[in-house]
Structure 1
Amino acid sequence: MSHLTIIVAATKANGIGQNSRLPWRLTREMKYFAKVTSTAPEGQSNAVIMGRNTWESIPQKYRPLPNRINIVTSRNTNYRVQPSSESNVYLHHDFASAIGRLTGMSSEGKPIHRTFVIGGQSLYTESLALSATSSLAFVDRILLTRIISPSFEECDVFMPDFLGIEGGADGKGEGKWGRASHNDLETWLGFEVPEGEQEEGGIKYEYQMWIWKP
């Protein structure tokens, strides 16, 4: 079974987007995302799984995301991501086959270190619904950048309320989500992360890590 990590920036109401884009521009937070998802031990590589809308929200000059295996999912069988000559981007028409590709997969001979689900709403929902006893995959960690203020009430896309998944609800298995300490976050990532409330362009946010505890 593969362990999956969700990485997301969300408001207190779990808003993650507006009109198919991020409602905020946080340069330091984006650098954090890039470092988290691309940092791997020498000789290994990370993978990022995303839906079509998330893929298309990335400026074309930045995709596929470098130094990571890019897995794009779309139910549209006519959809294409880019020329097939690219070796680090793959298209799948369902989440299960995307996860299946990563089993034993390597990038340029490099084994997979970590797999991150990076959006959007439907993929977060589908991945969080996976049971802890699933032979396919299981989300056991959420790296959440909590947007504290403003509230960004104009958000029209939301991630699931993962804290509402507890004690066997949604088929996830007995357990609940618990917030890890900042030290645990840094230990798991392998590098220092600013602690406490951050502010950038008038927007306040905090780096958090949540772990599923059976």
Structure 2
Amino acid sequence: MPTPTKAFPPLTLVLAATPSLGIGQGGTLPWPQLKKEMGYFARVTKRVSEGGRRINAVVMGRKTWDSIPEKFRPLKGRLNVVITRTPEELSRSLGMKGGGDKEVEVEGPIVAESVMAALERLRAFDHTAEEEREEESRGKIHRVFVIGGASVYHAALELPQAERVLLTKIKKEYDCDTFFGVDLDREGSGWVRRSRGELEEWTGESVQEGGLEQEGVGFEFGMYERVR
């Protein structure tokens, strides 16, 4: 009898949004750079459980990839996955930049044409890592984070694997041309907000009650889970 396939880690969406669910303007964030929020994002998406070599994956659209300054991509300490309708074009572009060194092999990017295709690529990566567990450059997938943009969030929310949303609530309105598609706080949305303690336990972060303020912008970290 074949060995049952281990269930793949669920998807966690990570985003920041205004009260009207605005998440972007002109391909960038409309609010000032919030270093504390950026630090939180980096730590949470990098952090893995103790024991064994593991790595988290961050799944993003091509526009989100392009919005990251070139010197910072791929995002360090995470396996980067880029969704694009023209995967061959992006793969050729990355190949011209010498994407074969050891660090890029670990962090990617992996290129896929849809979120489902990305999950299949990650399953293949995870299986290969299990077979080659002695190889220093590979790590098993621990968590999978979806980090934007709007169309990738939308596609991820359609999948049963989407189980969690880490939402930074920006407590001020800004002009936005891109919005998150679900009001998680709306009754009947299919999502429930978890307590600060549950957020801290899952992320490994100490979260200040009532939120933080930086650059004149108040913001608060929260976690939502899908109602099953």
In the alignment, what sits opposite 2:181? 160
User: Which of 53, 61, 64 is the aligned partner of 2:71?
Assistant: 61
User: Which of 170, 177, 202 is the aligned partner of 1:147?
Assistant: 170
Stretches of 4+ aligned residues off by more than 3 angstroms? 164-167
| CA distance, structure 2, for counterparts of residue 102 and residue 124 of structure 1 | 18
Residues 164, 126 of structure 1: CA spacing in aligned structure 2 closer, same or farther, 3 A cutoff? farther
Residue aligned with 2:42, SS? helix
Contact 2:184 2:224 in 1 (8 A): no
Identity between Structure 1 and Structure 2 (%):
40
Q: What residue ranges of structure 2 are gaps of 5+ in the alignment?
A: 1-6, 130-136
Residue aligned with 2:171, SS? strand
Note the aligned Cα RMSD (angstroms). Answer: 1.9
Superposed displacement of residue 195, structure 1: 2.5
Superposed displacement of residue 104, structure 1: 5.2
Q: What residue ranges of structure 1 are gaps of 5+ in the alignment?
A: 133-137, 168-174
| CA distance, structure 2, for counterparts of residue 66 and residue 13 of structure 1 | 31
Contact 2:192 2:226 in 1 (8 A): yes
Please, what TM-score do these two structures have when normalized by structure 2? 0.81
Please give the per-residue CA displacement for 1:116-163, whole angstroms capped at 9, x wherever unaligned: 000000000011111x3xxxxx111000001111x10x1001111243
Please, what TM-score do these two structures have when normalized by structure 1? 0.87
In the TM superposition, 1:97-176 aligns within 5 A as 97-103=117-123, 105-106=125-126, 108-130=137-159, 132=160, 138-149=161-172, 151-152=173-174, 154-163=175-184, 176=190
Contact 1:196 1:207 in 2 (8 A): no
| CA distance, structure 1, for counterparts of residue 185 and residue 49 of structure 2 | 34
In the alignment, what sits opposite 1:48? 58
Residues 165, 195 of structure 1: CA spacing in aligned structure 2 closer, same or farther, 3 A cutoff? closer
For this pair of structures, how many residues does the alignment match?
199
Given residue 38 of structure 2, which amino acid in structure 1 is its aligned partner?
A: M
Please give the per-residue CA displacement for 1:166-186, whole angstroms capped at 9, x wherever unaligned: 87xxxxxxx820000000000
More strand by share: 1
Contact 1:104 1:111 in 2 (8 A): no
More helix by share: 2
Residues 192, 56 of structure 1: CA spacing in aligned structure 2 closer, same or farther, 3 A cutoff? same
